[in-house]
Amino acid sequence: MQEDRLLSAEQLLLTTLLLKVAVTATLATMLVRFGQFRRILLTEKRAWRERLTFAFAFGIPASIAVAARLLLNYDAADLSLAGSFLAGLIAGPYAGAIVGCLVGLPALTAGEWIAIIFAIGCGFAGGGLRELSPKEAIWHVTPFLVTAEHRHSWKLFSRIHVDWQTTLLAAPIALELLRQLLGSRFGEARLFYLGAPNAWLLILIVLTTVMSVAVPIKIWNTARIEHRLQEQEKLLMAARLEALASQINPHFLFNTLTSISSSIRSHPETARMLIGKLSGLLRRLLRSQDHFVTLRDELASIDEYLDIETVRFGPTLGVEKRIAPETLDQMVPSMLLQPLVENCIKHGLSRKVGGGTITISSQRAKGHTVIEVTDDGLGMVTDGAPSDGTGGIGLRNVDERLRVIYGTNYHLRLSSVPGEGTCARVEIPELVDVGSASA
């Protein structure tokens, strides 16, 4: 009964081949999780330090796997051929030779002296193909290409130029056949190889070697594509934020210039003062290209803006601040408060006889900084959000910037009671003492 439960030689070989592909995929997945290793994959022009880092990061686990084969008889762990060739293909001939040396040393200690020579040769073979082939063609090698190899073989012979997909897959096939030949000539004691009792199993062994090269390339290329998509998404968000910010500044500028133009004939001294204060405010805005500032700096900008508006409205415009000290270092989008204050003046206080008061307050609540800009004016029609056009382009852009930066759950909330006033409320996740940041 015990002998019936044991695997036959063919079944054991098939199991070893399946485990070999699994070990290769596991090692490739583990390595790509490390940030430094992943960054090396993102560029084709690598410094010597990066190539050495790649060689040792890949070669040391592969050499440990060869030691596991020697000590534990775990044949599936031996990746000497695929590992050396793959390192050369990705990082160049010298990196491939280093990996070949690392995986060959444990075998050399066990008397397999041909193994280290063969592994180093595989590394140089992969590196040589890297130097000859287009770099992007390497990343197009996938395990699924094997199923379409007949079409790529036809391209190889039907056209004058080389089909690098076929060439890159043919190399590990030729190396595996060479290992089979050397192993059968000098014996397994000098070079480890998985012997095939028949032609079908030999085909599976060769196919496993190809998969051991193609699967890591597929995994690493997927990581490269994901990184590029993330970078493109960041650039798109930055461009979108730039567009929104550039819409807010002209909007504020045009409204202020309209206020100045109305004072030129009747109050030229007042107009001159307004131009001076506007010049100071614009100079402050142009000095900084940051998309984020501290709440302290944002309030300083609001003071300059309110100086302009106070000249227009006179003593009828009152301003109160109820700022919690612990919120002053909170990072906020630049030009966040100015459209809110402008909305209070334009829609709440400008039509009110006798003027009114604007109150700016901030506080901490549940990991967020809550900022409110309130007026006691005539109020405005709103359903809680400015997305329907309420409040004009300034409020809509503030709302959109909050959604772009922090997500759809963060937006501008408006509440208004006719005859009593309007409150604009913003909640921002806590982020303090990080310096200026760019979107």
Cα angle 36, 37, 42; round to 5: 95
Extract the runs of DSSP E, i.e. beta strands, from 250-325: 292-294, 317-323
Nearest to 212, CA basis, from 406, 407, 23 = 23
Q: What distance lies between CA 400 and its chain's CA centroid?
A: 22
Lowest mean pLDDT across 321-330, 347-356, 372-381: 347-356
More confident residue, 343 or 241: 343
Query: Tokens standing for 239?
Result: 């461009």
Q: What interhelical angle do 80-91 and 199-261 show, nearest 10?
A: 30
The pLDDT > 70 percentage for the chain reads 82
pLDDT exceeds 90 at position 402: no
By C-alpha distance, which of 127, 40, 29 is closest to 85?
127
**For residues 275 and 285, what is the distance between their CA atoms, to the nearest angstrom?**
15
Q: How far apart are CA 362 and CA 103, in angstroms?
A: 62
- Residue 235, C-beta contacts closer than 8 angstroms, at least 6 positions apart: none
Res 435: pLDDT = 43
Give the DSSP H/E element, type plus range, for residue 365: strand 356-365
Which range (1-10, 46-55, 129-138) has the least confidence?
Answer: 1-10
Which residues, in sequence order, are CB contacts of 121 under 8 Å at separation 6+?
100
Residue 284 phi, psi dihedral angles, 5° rounding: -65, -40
pLDDT for the residue 388: 45
Per-residue pLDDT at 49 exceeds 80:
yes
| Phi (first) and psi of residue 369, to 5 degrees | -105, 125
- In the chain, CATH 3.30.565.10 covers 262-429
- The pLDDT value recorded for residue 389 is 46
CB neighbours (10 Å) of residue 30? 11
Output the pLDDT for position 292.
80
Please give the structure tokens belonging to residue 413.
Answer: 């909330």
- Residue 109 has a pLDDT of 92
What's 262-429's CATH class? alpha beta
pLDDT of residue 357: 87
Give me the amino acid identity at 430. E
pLDDT of the residue at 5: 47
Residues 130 and 128: their CA atoms lie apart, in Å, by 5
Q: Residue 162 is encoded by which pair of tokens?
A: 């080389």
pLDDT in tens, 154-202: 554 455 556 777 888 899 999 999 999 999 999 988 999 998 888 999 9
How far is residue 375's CA from residue 318's CA, in Å, rounded to a whole number? 10
32-57: average pLDDT? 86
Q: What is the mean pLDDT of the chain?
A: 81
Q: What is the pLDDT of residue 283?
A: 73
Least confident of 23-27, 59-63, 149-153, 245-249: 149-153
**283-307 pLDDT tens trace:** 766 655 567 888 998 898 888 788 7
Q: What pLDDT was estimated at residue 145? A: 56
Mean pLDDT of the 337-360 span: 81
